[in-house]
Amino acid sequence: MNATKTHGQDSNGTFIRYFQPPMSMTAPEYLRHLIGLMDGESRTTFSIWRLPEPGGDPTKRGETFIQAAGSADKLAIEARVMTSDGTSHLFAVGRQEPHNGETTTVPISDKRMVRVFTNEIFTADEAAVIFMTFYLTDAVAQPYQLREIDVSVPQSEER
């Protein structure tokens, strides 16, 4: 077991491994690189999560995670974070600016897409900062807002 391995990662929900930047990159650079590879076609999702125990099995997810879907220039971000009542909930991440009810779609696979408010769209540069904060704190920091997602309602639709 290697205690320096604290997080897992996956792309497209399949390529599961430890989140461990190569020696030539810092964690922020590595996150920006991985998120920047998302093209909305063959690479549509990326996520990281804290392992239940350092160095443990990367396929075993903890209670919290953060994930992005889409392409490097149009990403939707969701995070499962712990709330004040000690339970984890799934949230869409957004800017504080109003969305006026306007929505847009973001691909999550070659067949499915998710509809989000326009203030919930980010670039790879913005997403990398949000992911790095989550990596360090297991939370989404200000100035971003969280909109709880009702997981009992289907969230995706056909492309």
Q: Print the SS3 string covering the chain.
A: CCCCCCEEEEECCCCCEECCCCCCCCHHHHHHHHHHCCECCCCCEEEEEECCCCCCCCCCCCCCEEEEEEECCEEEEEEEEECCCCCEEEEEEECCCCCCCCEEEEECCCCEEEEEEHHHEECHHHHHHHHHHHHHHCCCCCCCEEEECCCCCCCEEEC
Q: What's this model's pTM, rounded to 2 decimal places?
A: 0.92
Say if 157 falls within a structural domain: no
Q: Show the tokens assigned to 88.
A: 């984890």
| Model pLDDT for residues 4-59, shown as the tens digit of each residue | 799 999 999 888 999 999 999 999 999 999 999 999 999 999 999 999 888 888 88
Q: Which domain covers residue 89, as residue numbers? A: 7-152
Say if 159 falls within a structural domain: no
Say if 2 falls within a structural domain: no
How many domains, the chain? 1
Say if 158 falls within a structural domain: no
Share of the chain above pLDDT 70, in %: 98
Say if 134 falls within a structural domain: yes
Question: Among the listed ranges 41-45, 59-63, 71-75, which one has the minimum average pLDDT value?
Answer: 59-63
